[in-house]
Amino acid sequence: MSGTKAGGMKAAATNKAKYGKEFYARIGQKGGQNGHTGGFAANPALARIAGAKGGRISRRGPAKKEA
């Protein structure tokens, strides 16, 4: 029954029986607490610098003029 809707319902019932009815709420809470906006979203200037570096090492080669 693996991968079917019925199997999922059975697994959910098992998890709730083993770990309590708040099992999925706790999982979701952990995910929400872990998520922090970081990386380029926190520093747009850094994103600009990184993009410029990537553009300079492009593998496409120089642009060709059409005749």
**Would you kindly state where each structural domain of the chain is located, as residue ranges?**
5-56
As a dihedral over the C-alpha atoms of residue 16, residue 19, residue 21, residue 27, rounded to 10 degrees, the angle is -100
Work out the pLDDT band at 64, boundaries 50, 70, 90. confident
| Per-residue tokens: 46 | 């850094």
Phi/psi for 4 (5° steps) reads -110, 165
pLDDT at 57 over 90: no
pLDDT (tens digit, 9 = 90+) per residue, 11-42? 999 999 999 999 999 999 988 888 677 778 78
Per-residue model confidence (pLDDT) at position 11: 94
Per-residue model confidence (pLDDT) at position 43: 87
Work out the pLDDT band at 7, boundaries 50, 70, 90. very high
**How are the residues of the chain apportioned to helix, strand and coil, as percentages rounded to the nearest 5?**
65, 0, 35
